[in-house]
Chain A
Amino acid sequence: MHAAIEVRELTKTYSQGVAASRALDGVDLDAHAGEVMLLMGPSGSGKTTLVSIMGCILRPTSGSVKIQGREVAHLRERELPAVRLHHIGFVFQGFNLFPTLTAAENVGVALDLKGIRGEAARKRAHALLEEVGLGDKLHTFPADLSGGQKQRVAIARALAGDPEIILADEPTAALDKQSGWVVMNMLRNLAHSHERAVVIVTHDNRTLEFADRMVRIEDGRVGHELSREEFHQLVGAEA
């Protein structure tokens, strides 16, 4: 069975005039359905570049990226939105909700992109928000929601397209401990109970206990990957 995301010999070079900097250098990595994988590493290590390429937002300089077994690294720019729409849901550090829309309407935008509109969209948005525990906040604007609630709306929105892959960028960075725990629990549940591949870029050690795998990236290379046992030992040691 293939991985949800399969990355091989991936490089990404940013050109700035005659100068060029290599953000990723020969990265090999798989993300599997049913597991939560953390991508950790210092700032500038290439985490965001990697997750952008895994999310078909950036195109690599070379190498292979397969989403659900389909090679996407060499797709044309205009072919990438469809891959994102059908396979990937994003959760962002800053929530990135549409401030002028209610919680239900925020989810509705994602459904609209999928061509689901009208009553069907309304029902689906309500069901998704119920699923993340915000059934009573359907008509609330983001400004009137707490950070944790905003992130749950973002998760509901990410799930609207029913993607196999969830890519989350520092999903707990702006949240307090309790909210962060709720969000991470939700993401873990998506992986374990709904067989989704969840990839989380994080600096937050509070997320370690929710991970199935932890991958460190340094200087654009995948460094030491901890086994589940090593990982839990690390969590235990850090606790």
Chain B
Amino acid sequence: MASLAVRNLLHDKVRLAVTLTGIVFSVVLVAIQTGLFIGFTSTTSNLIDHSGADFWIVSKGVKYIEVGVPFSEKKLYHARAVPGVGEAEKYIVRFSQWKRPDGADQSSEIVGFDPDTQLGGPWRLAEGNVHDLKLQDTVLVDRFYAGKLGVTHLGQSLEIRGIRTRVVGFTEGIRTFTTSPLVFTSLKNALRYTGLDSDRAVFLLVKAAPGADRERLRRALKSAIGDVDVYTRQEFSSRTTNYWMFGTGAGVTVLMAAVLGLLVGIVVVAQTIYAATIDHIREFGTLKAMGATNGYIYRIILQQAVISAVIGYAVGITAAMVAEISSRGGGANIVLPGAVRAALFLLTLFMCVSAAMVSINKVTKIDPAMVFKG
């Protein structure tokens, strides 16, 4: 039976090529759109996800990290006084103007953190030292955005909001969802670069003491500080991601493209498998006359679908992974974790088997008496 399925599949090489092209196209489209979605998702919230904080304290009603509203740093002292708090520190994320060496202005996102606790600091340092940020007017930028910011080498001096600053290190692979590159610096420097008063904070990052009851600590923080929202890291991450993905419609667009890819794949594969089934309909009729059950014939069609799925997936996912690797040096950020690749394989199988169902429906209706027609 496997022989018949394989031979039928390989018999018409043009048709096989069309079928595989449809599957590969669909796999690549779904993989890249899903990879973009995951890339976008992780990029929108990566500052939060890598912050190391258990809680994010934000002004009431703040929907996502880029629109934090400054509040008095007195709240920091209130937070530190709450039992169960291990560490608490101010955190600043604000847009500012970066001036490139050629004089052009470039929007940047200043990230101010405490270099001692490193809560909310950079997580992939390629060159330099975080503690160098304790020096006045020093910054870390990501290598990916160096060109955009006009940074050519370590120690280079540039301007942020008219203040002379020096690049003391590079991070690698820390992307931003917005068009403004992240610029890591100390809290003190960040206040100057963003024009905030020195007694202001945009966020408070809190790390629970070992063994502290997190839910109780959250309630205590909320009640001690007042007039703020207290989110777990995961909650604020989801809040930020949901805003960018669904509040702005960006994620819906990407998801729709992925669904469209899947539908196109199903239609193309269904059409080609159906056409192949029609080509072999007389043979299926013969099999039925010989005593094959519908189940036997379904298995042949399903085997063809599964073989097509495996080959199509292998080619498609390879192409998608090449795109993923290429994206590391480009503007789009495609992320395809192993779990997604595995899920995509199951999805490809589902797509091909669903497509085969159309043919199976046709086989069910074969008039076995057709075998007697010369």
Chain A positions within 8 Å of B, measured between CB atoms, are: 48-49, 51-52, 55, 57-58, 78, 81-86, 88, 90, 92-94, 96, 98-101, 105, 108-110, 112-113, 157, 161, 169-170, 173-174, 201
Contacts and interface: CB of A to CB of B under 8 A. Distances in A.
Contacts of B289: 55, 57, 84, 90, 96
A78 B288 CA distance: 11
Interface of B: 1, 3-4, 7-8, 10-11, 282-283, 285-294, 296, 368-369, 371-374
Contacts of A48: 369, 372-373
Given A48-B369, A112-B1, A98 B283 contact: yes
A81 B4 contact: no
Contacts of B371: 57, 90, 92, 96, 169
B8 A100 contact: yes
A81 B288 contact: yes
Per CB-CB distance, the 3 closest pairs between chain A and chain B, nearest first, are A85-B291, A100-B7, A84-B291
B65 to A, nearest CB: 60
Contact of B368 (A52, A113, A173): A52
A95 to B, nearest CB: 9
A86 B292 CA distance: 11
Contacts of A108: 3
A173 B372 CA distance: 12
A93 B374 contact: yes
| Of listed A88, A105, A109, A201, residue having the most chain B CB within 10 A | A109
| Of listed B11, B291, B368, residue having the most chain A CB within 10 A | B291
Contacts of A82: 291
A81 B292 contact: yes
7 contacts: A55-B289, A86-B291, A92-B286, A98-B283, A109-B1, A113-B296, A161-B291
A215 B1 CA distance: 38
Given A58-B368, A100-B11, 11 more contacts: A57-B289, A78-B293, A81-B292, A83-B291, A96-B286, A99-B11, A100-B8, A105-B7, A113-B292, A173-B374, A174-B374
